[in-house]
Structure 1
Amino acid sequence: MKINVNGTDYTLNVPANTSLLDALRVNLNLTGSKYGCGEGACGACKVLIDGHATPSCITPVASVENKIVITIEGLEKDGQLHPLQQAFLDEDAFQCAYCSSGMIISAVALKAKNPNPGRQEIIEAMQGNICRCCVYPRIINAISKA
């Protein structure tokens, strides 16, 4: 099957029910999206699929044919971090950083819909993203300032 990830077309020889997360991490060596719960509940594996933050652990790779997939690695352009990546650094929103790629992906989807969300909108948009280190205030600040 053919998929487009971060602007590059790939042909994968994997079973259609392979999770997108496994295809990204194992077949394409894109390891920024993390395996967390395996149930689509924690947000660590989120990627953008046609602009929507989507848990890749429960998304069959066959379902993304003819769609655009963006991972955390695909946000950086020409050596420049995405503004949200930079904001997470600036606000010290990384502690263990396991959740960060999913958090940033969800924030990118939010900002694409609403460039200036209020605090409550940010909180609602980030539901389904769990941070075990509990740096939620810093995450909210980073999203607000990006």
Structure 2
Amino acid sequence: MTGPAMTAHPAAPAETELLVELTTTVNGEEVTATVPPRLHAADFLRSRLGLTGTHVGCEQGSCGMCTIVVDGEAVKSCLMLACQLDGRNVQTVESLATDDRLDPLQQAFKEAHALQCGFCTPGFLMTATALGYQGSCPSRAEIREEIAGVLCRCTGYENIVTAIENWFAGSAPVSTDGAPAAGCPVGAE
């Protein structure tokens, strides 16, 4: 006894996907692109612009590896659509180093031995960059709270907190309005 014959159903005709045009500033350069409306910002930055320093980990906003700075705020780019970058100012980790010289924040990470495998490092760097734009001197506890959205499996976070604290103490990051956070004390709780 044989069962009924299986018949293949013809595939539904492919609908033309709507595309969205966006113009954004990425690392100081204006970018205009046409993207699918569901393309994540992380995929746009990595695949379309070649900015592979924006790492993708969980793709659910839990790990923080994909953190970028949008209009001065730390944002998990896997939770943002590329079309939401339209008209915004975006910074990725590639914006930090200049002419193959480490940025002061990157240098602070190097000096404090605040990285191991490096996969999470761009997330920490961009979170700290956004914190620097607030123009205040955060305590160690506040630094810990700010970086809590980035997960690291290699370190105990102590050197990461120290690196960010040292950066605030020595580099005087500036707020988005350009006001310097003049030399924060090290070790303030």
Shorter-chain TM-score above 0.5: yes
TM-score (norm 2): 0.74
RMSD of aligned Cα (Å) = 1.3
**1:118 shift after superposition:** 0.9
Q: Which amino acid aligns with 2:164?
A: I
The residue type equivalent to 2:157 in the other structure is: Y
**What one-letter code is carried by the residue in structure 1 that aligns with 2:95?**
G
Q: Does residue 64 of structure 2 align to residue 43 of structure 1?
A: yes
Q: How many pairs does the alignment contain?
A: 146
Task: State the Cα distance separating 1:89 from its structure 2 match.
Answer: 0.8
Q: Counting helix residues as a fraction of each chain, which structure ranks higher?
A: 1
- The gaps in structure 2 that reach 5 residues or longer are 1-21, 168-189
Offset, 1:127: 1.6
1:55: which partner in 2? 76
Moved over 6 A (4+): none
Aligned counterpart in structure 2 of residue 15 of structure 1, from 30, 36, 41: 36
Higher relative contact order (CA 8 A, sep 6+): 1
* Structure 2 match to 1:29: 50
Aligned with 1:13: secondary structure? Answer: strand
Percentage identity across aligned positions?
39
Report how far residue 135 of structure 1 moved. 3.4
Q: Which amino acid aligns with 2:118?
A: A
Q: Give the TM-score normalised by the residue count of structure 1.
A: 0.94
Q: Secondary structure at the match of 2:105?
A: helix
For structure 1, the residue ranges without an aligned partner over 5 or more in a row are none
1:15, distance to aligned residue in structure 2 (A): 0.4
